[in-house]
Structure formats: C-alpha cells, structure tokens
Amino acid sequence: MALQLGDAAPDFTAETTQGTINLYEYLGDGWGVIFSHPKDFTPVCTTELGEVARLKGEFDKRNTKVIGLSVDPVDSHGNWASDIKDATGHELNFPLIGDKEAKVANLYGMIHPNASDTMTVRSVFIIGPDKKIKLTITYPASTGRNFLEILRVLDSLQLSSQYSVATPVNWNDGDDVIVGVGLSDEEAKAKFPKGFTTIKPYLRFTPQPNR
C-alpha cells in the first residue's frame, strides 16, 4: 500500500554521495525532503538537481535537509555531478542515494510499474520532525518539478504546525492566513492579537502570526 499522509516515514540506511546515512539520524529533529529521479545522465534530472543545489540555502533556512535518489549506483552519481555543475552552474551539495537494488525506492513506492518497472518516478516526500509523512507529490518522468512550490508548501506546513492556521489558495509566505476552523471567535481574538476579518463564519483571515 502506498505511503499516506500521517504515516511514519520508513527509516533506512543507505550509501550516498556523502557516505552512509541513516535517515532518522540524518534528519535529527528537523524536516526532510526526499525526492527521486528516474536515471542519471538524463536531461530533466540534471536541471532538477542543479536547481535543488541552487536552493539548498533556502532549505537550510527552514531546518530542512534534502536527499535525492535514483536506482543508479553511487559511483554513477559521482560521475554525473560534474555534468550537473557544467550544465547548471551549481555544484551538488546534498546527498544522492545510490539505490541499485531499489530497496529505498520500494519502501517509499517510488517505482510505478505502469510507468516503468525499473526506473523511479519523480516522487517527493516531505517528512516532519515527528518522522511522519506531511506531503507526497508524484510527477511523471517527462515533467520537471517546481522546487519553489515545494519551498512554499514547506512554509505552509511549518506555519500550520506552530499556529492554529491554514493557508489559502496561492498563498505565499507573508500573505494573510486562515484562522483554524476549530477556534471560536473569542479564542481567535486571544490567539491573534492583530485581529481577523470574517468573510464567512468558517472563513476568517488574519495576518501571518509570525510576521
């Protein structure tokens, strides 16, 4: 059965371009993003890994570690790293798992037989500090991911984990947020001293509380 939101993220130990890592130890008390790519030395994957390397500082700001994976071995990843730097201008600065036997891929359901019975699809998993799955996204091999969207979702997840809020459509960090439906107006007044605007009894907007 596929991993679902709220499931415990399967722990594993694997060889990577930065040595042997154990997932839970590597993440510590922070957040994590695991993402798979179908194959080394392929065009879409090259652009994606360069982009994640470019954005690594943004993930660091969010106390989030990124980990890539494909079913190619670690030495192949290492050889590919120079191509990634040449093509994108960004040097690989996060671990890539070598998953030749597809152990991690199978743990996380990254191989979809109707797409390919050997290569991983473009899976994304966000893991919270409690080691639970907070988000899953699956892209086909032909479509590159939008990692700015993944950062946006991280901002939303981290905000809602600290405050009784949700984020509306097209929300970005700094925009107004939605007061949690479980709060009465009196509770909302106490929790959100900047006040809130009621559109409907179930739809109340308040300034982002950590701004």
Q: Is 45 a catalytic residue?
A: yes
Listed in sequence order, the residues at least 6 apart from 29 whose beta carbon sits closer than 8 Å to its beta carbon are 129
Separation of alpha carbons 36 and 177, rounded Å: 31
The active-site residue out of 45, 71, 104, 121 is 45
Checking 134-142 for CB contacts under 8 A at 24+ apart, the result is 134/5, 135/5, 136/2, 136/3, 136/4, 136/5, 138/112, 140/115, 141/38, 141/44, 141/115, 141/116, 142/44
Show the 3-state SS of 160-208. HHHCCEECCCCCCCCCCEEECCCCCHHHHHHHCCCCCEEEECCEEEECC
Contact call for residues 129 and 29 (beta carbons, < 8 A)? yes
Measured distance CA(54)–CA(194) in Å, rounded: 36
CA angle 134, 91, 67 (to 5 degrees): 20
List, by residue number, the catalytic residues: 45
